[in-house]
Chain A
């Protein structure tokens, strides 16, 4: 006898929420746009994280790097990895490694006929480097390194600073290993690259590996940049790659650029904070709307209670109204949020070489849609609307019929 026809309650809920269509539509819009913003934020942050990782690892860094265990502490050219061919052979055997590029690096002074600049000089094997970094793709003028001994390529801003043109002479001075005697070589500018990254375009110069080794008087290398068949392998420390021996320091991209890792973690927290703020705003908006609706219907609720409706049935009806609003808003938010996310996952958002967290966003951010996360957020919003209705529903259920009718009459 205490039960009530659920289809009648649903009918009452639907009819009640559309009695004031403008208010209901505004509430639906508030919740729906909140959900759409959340979905967009989720897809944007995922896209931004992936873009930043890709920019960081594919531009120059690689997924991981190998150094002499002392090299990164002192940046001393004496700490090179000798007999690199053994290391190459080992890397060739590893299934997880897709490509690697040996590098020699040192600080250098480059002089043109017009100017002098302090730079980071890197010796590389052109074709191997092209499989690890985007240096070859970044060439905007001249030719990439082909193996000829006098070749040198500079960043565009460095070339401007030195006021040097293709084919013109440059003198490079470095401090050699084993005692630090100065070593000078003559080069001719063979090409200019541009990463749209101030650090790389202003301070980096590349020559062939054997030439750099000769200048530094070493027979080894300072660094091997490695890419894996899958980025996730860079975090799988059980892979044989991470066990190359105690003579080496082997690090993945997170360890090489800890500030990027911090930015990524902060991005995840930002999403969480945005989600919590959005949930609070949407909840308060809905609670306000439900209370307005209940205050307008005090007399009616009093009548329902007078004719024998139990307080729990009033509670259920108000919660049901919230659930209907939540479902409509979730569908709307899901449609709008998904449409926006899909559009920007195709078009991308171009930040025009903005620098953020030690990374230059020189590639557009393509949103990444995680449908499971989308459905979870939509479900969470629906649940939250139901939870937000509990307080107004409790208020409605506790009304005394005589008070409710007197207040309006």
Chain B
């Protein structure tokens, strides 16, 4: 199987001396293409830190992150930006849409960065918003959408450029049970049909139920790694 994510002895420390906090300590994980993986653990266990290091949003104190066979740990700022744009889709707990852009413009933004032609952009945005069930809401701004609808836009934004990896940091935490389950079913469907790799950081049992693999972190270390 194609290894899309590999971390080796990955560590992230904050502070120094007596105030040193080991948010992540010597974590080595390999995730292959098409996996639907949940990283679980109590608050402060290092889930979000691991996700941020995998996504190139933060730099490790030690160790290495390989994505699609490329070492992102030593990339320059621009190289890392371009890599994130072309290989990774992010879904955040707080949706994190750009409030001054409409749903359509939020989804379109990454393709504008990529230089995709207008016709192609419009067609892909329309198709993606249809797929996440937001047909007819293209011109609404985030403030005019419910939490569930905003998270659907976030999913559409993350997936529209067909990245190889989707990183989702507690995507259902702010949603009600029904909306969260519906969104997860949609992501599971996309995982199966598009063969995209999903990595979740979560406390949500619904995600754990659907995950093919569960990695448990405690105190910044991997304490269990189970595939189902």
Known contacts A1-B115, A306-B84; is-contact A300 B98 (Cβ 8 Å)? yes
Measured between C-beta atoms, what is the minimum distance from B160 to chain A in Å? 11
Could you tell me which A residues sit within 8 Å of B by CB distance? 1-5, 8, 12, 15-16, 19, 299-300, 302-313, 400-403, 405, 409
Measured between C-beta atoms, what is the minimum distance from A98 to chain B in Å? 66
B101 contacts A308, C-beta separation under 8 Å: no
A402 contacts B115, C-beta separation under 8 Å: no
Q: List 28 A-B contacts (CB under 8 A).
A: A1-B114, A3-B115, A5-B112, A8-B109, A12-B98, A12-B100, A15-B100, A15-B101, A16-B100, A300-B96, A303-B90, A303-B96, A303-B98, A305-B81, A306-B55, A306-B90, A307-B113, A307-B157, A308-B84, A308-B110, A309-B85, A311-B77, A311-B81, A312-B78, A400-B57, A401-B58, A405-B96, A409-B94
Residue on B nearest A403 in the bound complex, by CB: B58
A residues near B204, Cβ cutoff 8 Å: none
7 closest pairs, A vs B, by CB? A308-B85, A15-B100, A402-B58, A402-B57, A401-B57, A303-B96, A310-B81
How many A-B pairs have beta carbons closer than 8 Å: the answer is 79
Measured between C-beta atoms, what is the minimum distance from A263 to chain B in Å? 53
User: Which of B86, B93, B96, B98 is A308 in contact with, Cβ under 8 Å?
Assistant: B86
Question: How many B residues face the partner with a CB closer than 8 A?
Answer: 29
B99 interfacial by beta-carbon distance below 8 Å: yes
B179 interfacial by beta-carbon distance below 8 Å: no
Measured between C-beta atoms, what is the minimum distance from A130 to chain B in Å? 71
Instruction: Report the bound CA distance from A312 to B105 in whole Å.
Output: 21
B84 contacts A307, C-beta separation under 8 Å: yes
B192 interfacial by beta-carbon distance below 8 Å: no
Instruction: Report the bound CA distance from A405 to B109 in whole Å.
Output: 19
Known contacts A3-B115, A307-B90, A310-B78; is-contact A12 B85 (Cβ 8 Å)? no
B residues near A302, Cβ cutoff 8 Å: 96
Q: List CB contacts (< 8 Å) of B105-124 with chain A.
A: 105, 109-110, 112-115
A residues near B52, Cβ cutoff 8 Å: 402
A residues near B85, Cβ cutoff 8 Å: 307-309
Residue on A nearest B87 in the bound complex, by CB: A308
Residue on A nearest B77 in the bound complex, by CB: A311
B residues near A19, Cβ cutoff 8 Å: 99-100
B residues near A402, Cβ cutoff 8 Å: 52, 57-58
B82 interfacial by beta-carbon distance below 8 Å: yes
Instruction: Report the bound CA distance from A313 to B77 in whole Å.
Output: 12
Instruction: Report the bound CA distance from A5 to B85 in whole Å.
Output: 15
Instruction: Report the bound CA distance from A304 to B100 in whole Å.
Output: 13
